[in-house]
């Protein structure tokens, strides 16, 4: 994932206590301070059950439309026209970089 990243949700079941804002910031700092630098997080925060609802609303807002991969190779004939069908050849994606995912319900106010 390139660019600003994408929202994610981690559900902790049977939690004994809700972490304070300071602890959440410490967790964020520890993740971002890892030596391998493969994952970074920003604006980490605790949300209640409304967080799951917001995530699902965002998912449904995004499943509409054609995915880039389907548009290129046709998804076994399910997406037409596709780049492959237009060119009359087999088309495959060798690399796809996502630069941004916009989910208005997760904008920081």
100 lies in a domain? Answer: no
Assess if residue 107 is contained within a domain: no
The string of pLDDT tens digits covering residues 57-96 is: 765 555 645 577 788 888 877 788 888 888 888 888 887 7
Tell whether 77 and 43 lie within a shared domain. no
Separation between Cα atoms, residue 32 and residue 41, nearest integer Å = 7
Count of domains forming the chain: 2
Range of the domain at 76: 65-95
Q: Does 57 share its domain with 72?
A: no
34 plus 59 within the same structural domain:
yes
pLDDT digits (tens, 9 = 90+) for 5-47: 777 788 777 888 888 999 999 999 999 998 888 888 888 888 8
Residue 70 lies in a domain: yes
Is there a single domain that holds both residue 13 and residue 47? yes
């Amino acid at each position: 994932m390139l660019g600003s990243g994408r929202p994610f949700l981690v559900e902790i079941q049977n939690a004994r206590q809700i972490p304070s804002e300071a602890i959440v910031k410490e967790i964020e700092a520890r993740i971002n301070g890892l030596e391998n630098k493969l994952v970074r997080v920003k604006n980490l925060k605790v949300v209640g059950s409304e967080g799951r609802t917001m995530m699902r609303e965002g998912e449904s807002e995004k499943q509409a439309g054609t995915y880039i991969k389907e548009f290129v190779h046709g998804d076994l004939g399910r997406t037409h026209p596709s780049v492959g069908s237009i060119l009359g050849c087999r088309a495959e994606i060798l690399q796809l970089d996502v630069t941004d995912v916009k989910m208005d319900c997760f904008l920081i106010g």
